[in-house]
Amino acid sequence: MLENRYLLAGIVFAASWLLTLLITHLILPVLQAKKIGQPISQYVGEHKNKDGTPTMGGICFILSILLCMTVAFVLFAVQGIAQTFIPLALTLALGVGNGIIGFVDDYAKLLKKENIGLSVMQKLVLQFAVAGAYVAVMAYTGNLPTTLALPFCDYALQLSYAAYPIYAVLIVGFVNSTNITDGIDGLASSVTLVVALFYLIASFALRDSGLSFISAALMGGMIGFLHFNRNPARIFMGDTGSLFIGGILMGMAFMTGEVLVLMIAGLVYICEMLSSLLQVVYFKLTGGKRLFRMAPIHHHFQKGGWSEVRITLTFAAVTALLCVVAWLGLIL
Protein backbone atom coordinates (compact mmCIF):
# COMPACT_ATOMS: atom_id res chain seq x y z
CA MET A 1 0.00 0.00 0.00
CA LEU A 2 2.82 2.41 0.88
CA GLU A 3 4.38 1.73 -2.52
CA ASN A 4 1.87 4.19 -3.97
CA ARG A 5 3.46 6.98 -1.95
CA TYR A 6 2.78 9.63 -4.60
CA LEU A 7 -0.98 9.17 -4.36
CA LEU A 8 -0.90 8.90 -0.57
CA ALA A 9 1.20 12.07 -0.27
CA GLY A 10 -1.29 13.85 -2.52
CA ILE A 11 -4.19 12.73 -0.32
CA VAL A 12 -2.36 13.86 2.84
CA PHE A 13 -1.60 17.23 1.21
CA ALA A 14 -5.22 17.79 0.20
CA ALA A 15 -6.55 16.66 3.58
CA SER A 16 -4.19 18.94 5.49
CA TRP A 17 -5.07 21.87 3.23
CA LEU A 18 -8.83 21.43 3.63
CA LEU A 19 -8.63 20.67 7.35
CA THR A 20 -6.55 23.79 7.98
CA LEU A 21 -9.06 25.89 6.05
CA LEU A 22 -11.94 24.39 8.04
CA ILE A 23 -10.28 24.59 11.47
CA THR A 24 -9.08 28.16 10.94
CA HIS A 25 -12.53 29.16 9.70
CA LEU A 26 -14.02 27.75 12.91
CA ILE A 27 -11.39 29.04 15.33
CA LEU A 28 -10.98 32.57 13.94
CA PRO A 29 -14.38 33.86 15.17
CA VAL A 30 -13.65 32.39 18.61
CA LEU A 31 -10.31 34.19 18.83
CA GLN A 32 -11.96 37.42 17.69
CA ALA A 33 -14.80 37.08 20.21
CA LYS A 34 -12.39 36.45 23.08
CA LYS A 35 -10.15 39.29 21.84
CA ILE A 36 -7.08 37.06 21.68
CA GLY A 37 -5.14 39.61 19.64
CA GLN A 38 -1.46 40.13 18.97
CA PRO A 39 0.18 43.07 20.84
CA ILE A 40 2.26 44.95 18.25
CA SER A 41 5.78 46.27 18.87
CA GLN A 42 5.88 50.05 19.22
CA TYR A 43 9.04 50.13 17.09
CA VAL A 44 7.29 48.98 13.91
CA GLY A 45 5.09 51.90 12.97
CA GLU A 46 3.98 50.20 9.77
CA HIS A 47 2.21 47.56 11.86
CA LYS A 48 0.03 49.84 14.00
CA ASN A 49 -3.08 48.82 12.06
CA LYS A 50 -2.38 45.16 12.90
CA ASP A 51 -2.76 45.63 16.65
CA GLY A 52 -5.35 43.21 17.99
CA THR A 53 -5.19 40.80 15.04
CA PRO A 54 -5.99 37.30 16.37
CA THR A 55 -2.88 35.29 17.17
CA MET A 56 -1.99 31.71 18.14
CA GLY A 57 -3.36 30.66 14.76
CA GLY A 58 -0.61 28.05 14.51
CA ILE A 59 -2.96 25.83 16.49
CA CYS A 60 -5.05 25.48 13.32
CA PHE A 61 -2.42 23.90 11.10
CA ILE A 62 -0.88 21.99 14.02
CA LEU A 63 -4.20 20.23 14.62
CA SER A 64 -4.59 19.58 10.92
CA ILE A 65 -1.11 18.07 10.60
CA LEU A 66 -1.58 15.93 13.71
CA LEU A 67 -4.88 14.56 12.39
CA CYS A 68 -3.29 13.66 9.06
CA MET A 69 -0.30 12.05 10.75
CA THR A 70 -2.60 9.97 12.95
CA VAL A 71 -3.85 8.31 9.78
CA ALA A 72 -0.24 7.85 8.63
CA PHE A 73 0.62 6.12 11.90
CA VAL A 74 -2.28 3.72 11.37
CA LEU A 75 -0.90 2.88 7.92
CA PHE A 76 2.57 2.27 9.32
CA ALA A 77 1.14 0.10 12.10
CA VAL A 78 -0.80 -1.99 9.56
CA GLN A 79 2.32 -2.33 7.40
CA GLY A 80 4.51 -3.03 10.44
CA ILE A 81 7.11 -0.40 9.49
CA ALA A 82 8.55 0.62 12.86
CA GLN A 83 11.71 1.98 11.21
CA THR A 84 9.69 4.78 9.59
CA PHE A 85 7.22 5.15 12.45
CA ILE A 86 9.77 6.13 15.11
CA PRO A 87 11.58 9.01 13.29
CA LEU A 88 8.22 10.41 12.16
CA ALA A 89 6.78 10.26 15.68
CA LEU A 90 9.88 11.97 17.08
CA THR A 91 9.69 14.67 14.40
CA LEU A 92 6.13 15.43 15.42
CA ALA A 93 7.15 15.39 19.09
CA LEU A 94 9.91 17.92 18.40
CA GLY A 95 7.45 20.16 16.58
CA VAL A 96 4.70 19.86 19.19
CA GLY A 97 7.15 20.34 22.06
CA ASN A 98 8.34 23.63 20.59
CA GLY A 99 4.76 24.55 19.69
CA ILE A 100 3.75 24.19 23.34
CA ILE A 101 6.58 26.54 24.34
CA GLY A 102 5.29 28.99 21.74
CA PHE A 103 1.75 28.64 23.07
CA VAL A 104 2.92 29.48 26.61
CA ASP A 105 4.86 32.46 25.24
CA ASP A 106 1.85 33.71 23.27
CA TYR A 107 -0.43 33.28 26.28
CA ALA A 108 2.01 35.21 28.48
CA LYS A 109 1.96 38.07 25.96
CA LEU A 110 -1.82 38.17 26.10
CA LEU A 111 -1.82 38.24 29.90
CA LYS A 112 0.77 41.02 30.02
CA LYS A 113 -0.76 42.80 27.01
CA GLU A 114 2.78 43.30 25.74
CA ASN A 115 4.86 42.05 22.80
CA ILE A 116 7.16 40.13 25.16
CA GLY A 117 5.97 36.95 26.89
CA LEU A 118 8.51 34.54 28.33
CA SER A 119 11.97 35.90 29.03
CA VAL A 120 14.82 34.90 26.71
CA MET A 121 16.30 32.68 29.41
CA GLN A 122 12.98 30.97 30.11
CA LYS A 123 12.48 30.17 26.43
CA LEU A 124 16.02 28.89 25.98
CA VAL A 125 15.81 26.60 29.01
CA LEU A 126 12.56 25.10 27.75
CA GLN A 127 13.84 24.81 24.18
CA PHE A 128 17.05 23.08 25.21
CA ALA A 129 15.00 20.71 27.37
CA VAL A 130 12.88 19.74 24.35
CA ALA A 131 15.90 19.54 22.03
CA GLY A 132 17.86 17.50 24.56
CA ALA A 133 15.00 15.05 25.04
CA TYR A 134 14.62 14.66 21.26
CA VAL A 135 18.34 14.03 20.74
CA ALA A 136 18.44 11.55 23.64
CA VAL A 137 15.48 9.51 22.38
CA MET A 138 16.82 9.60 18.81
CA ALA A 139 20.10 8.19 20.11
CA TYR A 140 18.36 5.58 22.25
CA THR A 141 16.32 4.33 19.28
CA GLY A 142 19.37 4.25 17.02
CA ASN A 143 18.16 7.04 14.73
CA LEU A 144 20.67 9.77 15.67
CA PRO A 145 23.51 10.16 13.16
CA THR A 146 26.90 10.28 14.90
CA THR A 147 28.46 11.84 11.81
CA LEU A 148 27.63 15.22 10.31
CA ALA A 149 27.59 14.93 6.52
CA LEU A 150 28.95 17.95 4.67
CA PRO A 151 27.00 18.89 1.52
CA PHE A 152 28.75 18.83 -1.87
CA CYS A 153 31.54 16.54 -0.73
CA ASP A 154 31.95 12.91 0.26
CA TYR A 155 33.03 13.73 3.80
CA ALA A 156 31.40 13.65 7.20
CA LEU A 157 32.56 14.97 10.54
CA GLN A 158 32.91 12.27 13.18
CA LEU A 159 30.99 13.63 16.16
CA SER A 160 30.71 10.71 18.58
CA TYR A 161 29.36 12.02 21.92
CA ALA A 162 29.79 15.63 20.73
CA ALA A 163 26.72 14.98 18.56
CA TYR A 164 24.44 15.54 21.56
CA PRO A 165 25.31 19.19 22.32
CA ILE A 166 25.96 20.07 18.68
CA TYR A 167 22.57 18.83 17.51
CA ALA A 168 20.81 20.45 20.48
CA VAL A 169 22.37 23.82 19.63
CA LEU A 170 21.47 23.42 15.94
CA ILE A 171 17.86 22.62 16.83
CA VAL A 172 17.42 25.54 19.22
CA GLY A 173 19.16 27.96 16.89
CA PHE A 174 17.09 26.98 13.87
CA VAL A 175 13.81 26.94 15.78
CA ASN A 176 14.43 30.51 16.93
CA SER A 177 15.33 31.50 13.37
CA THR A 178 11.91 30.40 12.12
CA ASN A 179 10.34 32.32 14.99
CA ILE A 180 12.08 35.56 14.01
CA THR A 181 11.05 35.10 10.36
CA ASP A 182 7.38 35.35 11.33
CA GLY A 183 7.33 39.15 11.35
CA ILE A 184 5.12 40.20 8.43
CA ASP A 185 1.99 38.82 6.79
CA GLY A 186 2.50 35.47 5.12
CA LEU A 187 6.31 35.47 5.27
CA ALA A 188 6.98 32.44 7.48
CA SER A 189 4.11 30.52 5.85
CA SER A 190 5.38 31.18 2.32
CA VAL A 191 9.02 30.37 3.02
CA THR A 192 8.00 27.21 4.89
CA LEU A 193 5.75 26.15 2.01
CA VAL A 194 8.75 26.21 -0.34
CA VAL A 195 11.02 24.31 2.08
CA ALA A 196 8.28 21.71 2.67
CA LEU A 197 7.99 21.21 -1.10
CA PHE A 198 11.75 20.64 -1.23
CA TYR A 199 11.49 17.90 1.38
CA LEU A 200 8.51 16.33 -0.37
CA ILE A 201 10.56 16.01 -3.56
CA ALA A 202 13.52 14.73 -1.54
CA SER A 203 11.31 12.12 0.12
CA PHE A 204 10.42 10.62 -3.25
CA ALA A 205 14.09 10.37 -4.18
CA LEU A 206 14.91 8.82 -0.79
CA ARG A 207 11.81 6.57 -0.91
CA ASP A 208 10.89 7.66 2.60
CA SER A 209 7.12 7.42 3.10
CA GLY A 210 7.25 9.04 6.54
CA LEU A 211 9.05 12.08 5.17
CA SER A 212 6.59 12.20 2.25
CA PHE A 213 3.60 12.32 4.57
CA ILE A 214 4.92 14.93 7.00
CA SER A 215 6.21 17.24 4.25
CA ALA A 216 2.92 16.93 2.32
CA ALA A 217 0.96 17.66 5.50
CA LEU A 218 3.13 20.70 6.25
CA MET A 219 2.65 21.98 2.69
CA GLY A 220 -1.12 21.60 2.93
CA GLY A 221 -1.16 23.31 6.31
CA MET A 222 0.83 26.28 5.01
CA ILE A 223 -1.35 26.76 1.92
CA GLY A 224 -4.52 26.51 3.98
CA PHE A 225 -3.23 28.94 6.58
CA LEU A 226 -1.99 31.40 3.94
CA HIS A 227 -5.61 31.90 2.89
CA PHE A 228 -6.07 33.74 6.20
CA ASN A 229 -2.47 34.85 6.86
CA ARG A 230 -1.61 36.53 3.55
CA ASN A 231 -1.56 40.32 3.45
CA PRO A 232 -3.68 41.81 4.94
CA ALA A 233 -3.58 39.02 7.53
CA ARG A 234 -6.74 38.08 9.38
CA ILE A 235 -4.81 35.87 11.81
CA PHE A 236 -1.19 35.36 12.90
CA MET A 237 0.39 31.98 13.61
CA GLY A 238 2.12 33.37 16.70
CA ASP A 239 5.05 31.70 18.40
CA THR A 240 2.78 28.67 18.68
CA GLY A 241 3.03 28.15 14.93
CA SER A 242 6.52 29.46 14.16
CA LEU A 243 8.26 27.38 16.84
CA PHE A 244 6.29 24.31 15.76
CA ILE A 245 7.48 24.84 12.19
CA GLY A 246 11.10 25.11 13.28
CA GLY A 247 10.85 21.86 15.23
CA ILE A 248 9.13 19.99 12.39
CA LEU A 249 11.71 21.14 9.81
CA MET A 250 14.62 20.10 12.03
CA GLY A 251 13.00 16.71 12.55
CA MET A 252 12.58 16.35 8.79
CA ALA A 253 16.25 17.21 8.32
CA PHE A 254 17.23 14.41 10.71
CA MET A 255 14.94 12.02 8.82
CA THR A 256 17.03 12.56 5.67
CA GLY A 257 20.31 12.03 7.54
CA GLU A 258 21.59 15.26 5.93
CA VAL A 259 21.03 17.84 8.65
CA LEU A 260 23.16 20.60 7.12
CA VAL A 261 21.15 20.55 3.89
CA LEU A 262 18.36 22.29 5.82
CA MET A 263 20.80 25.11 6.62
CA ILE A 264 20.97 25.73 2.86
CA ALA A 265 17.27 25.32 2.03
CA GLY A 266 16.34 27.35 5.12
CA LEU A 267 19.04 29.98 4.77
CA VAL A 268 16.41 32.75 4.71
CA TYR A 269 15.42 31.81 8.27
CA ILE A 270 19.06 31.86 9.34
CA CYS A 271 19.70 35.24 7.70
CA GLU A 272 16.77 36.65 9.65
CA MET A 273 18.39 35.48 12.89
CA LEU A 274 21.89 36.64 11.89
CA SER A 275 20.62 40.09 10.91
CA SER A 276 19.21 40.56 14.41
CA LEU A 277 22.42 39.38 16.06
CA LEU A 278 24.60 41.56 13.82
CA GLN A 279 22.38 44.56 14.51
CA VAL A 280 22.85 44.19 18.27
CA VAL A 281 26.62 43.61 18.04
CA TYR A 282 27.15 46.51 15.63
CA PHE A 283 24.98 48.81 17.75
CA LYS A 284 27.08 48.09 20.84
CA LEU A 285 30.46 48.30 19.08
CA THR A 286 29.71 51.61 17.35
CA GLY A 287 28.01 53.30 20.28
CA GLY A 288 24.49 53.40 18.88
CA LYS A 289 24.86 53.12 15.07
CA ARG A 290 22.71 50.67 13.12
CA LEU A 291 23.85 48.20 10.49
CA PHE A 292 20.30 47.83 9.15
CA ARG A 293 17.38 50.27 9.13
CA MET A 294 15.71 47.75 11.42
CA ALA A 295 16.20 44.09 12.25
CA PRO A 296 15.38 41.36 11.46
CA ILE A 297 16.19 41.86 7.80
CA HIS A 298 12.59 41.85 6.50
CA HIS A 299 11.98 45.06 8.49
CA HIS A 300 15.05 46.60 6.83
CA PHE A 301 13.36 46.22 3.45
CA GLN A 302 10.03 47.35 4.87
CA LYS A 303 11.61 50.56 6.19
CA GLY A 304 13.10 50.99 2.71
CA GLY A 305 9.64 51.18 1.18
CA TRP A 306 9.06 47.58 0.15
CA SER A 307 5.51 46.32 0.57
CA GLU A 308 4.90 43.22 2.68
CA VAL A 309 3.74 41.34 -0.42
CA ARG A 310 6.97 42.20 -2.27
CA ILE A 311 9.12 41.10 0.67
CA THR A 312 7.22 37.84 1.06
CA LEU A 313 7.37 36.96 -2.64
CA THR A 314 11.06 37.87 -2.86
CA PHE A 315 12.03 35.83 0.19
CA ALA A 316 9.98 32.87 -1.08
CA ALA A 317 11.66 33.11 -4.50
CA VAL A 318 15.12 33.25 -2.90
CA THR A 319 14.18 30.20 -0.83
CA ALA A 320 13.17 28.35 -4.00
CA LEU A 321 16.63 29.05 -5.48
CA LEU A 322 18.29 27.94 -2.26
CA CYS A 323 16.28 24.72 -2.38
CA VAL A 324 17.73 24.00 -5.82
CA VAL A 325 21.21 24.40 -4.34
CA ALA A 326 20.19 22.25 -1.36
CA TRP A 327 18.98 19.55 -3.76
CA LEU A 328 22.42 19.46 -5.37
CA GLY A 329 23.94 19.21 -1.91
CA LEU A 330 21.64 16.28 -1.14
CA ILE A 331 22.35 14.22 -4.26
CA LEU A 332 26.04 15.00 -4.87
pLDDT tens string 263-278: 999 999 999 999 999 9
Residue 298 pLDDT exceeds 90: yes
Contact (Cβ atoms closer than 8 angstroms) between residue 265 and residue 195: yes
Nearest to 61 by CA among 92, 107, 106: 92
Residue 96 confidence (pLDDT):
98
Provide the domain count of the chain: 1
Q: Which of 74-78, 100-104, 155-159 has the lowest mean pLDDT?
A: 74-78
Q: Give the Cβ contact number of residue 178 at 10 Å.
A: 29
Contact (Cβ atoms closer than 8 angstroms) between residue 276 and residue 148: no
Per-residue pLDDT of 199-247, as tens digits, reads 999 999 998 889 999 999 999 999 999 999 999 999 999 999 999 999 9
Nearest to 222 by CA among 50, 9, 7, 13: 13
Higher-confidence residue: 306 or 117? 306
The dihedral over CA atoms of 58, 63, 66, 67, expressed in degrees to the nearest 10, equals -150
Quote the pTM value.
0.95
Domain span including residue 288: 5-331
- Those residues whose C-beta lies under 8 Å from the C-beta of residue 205, and which sit 6 or more positions away, are 330, 331
Confidence of residue 158 (pLDDT cuts 50, 70, 90): very high
Burial of 119 (0-12, 13-18, 19+ CB in 10 A): exposed
Residue 104 pLDDT exceeds 80: yes
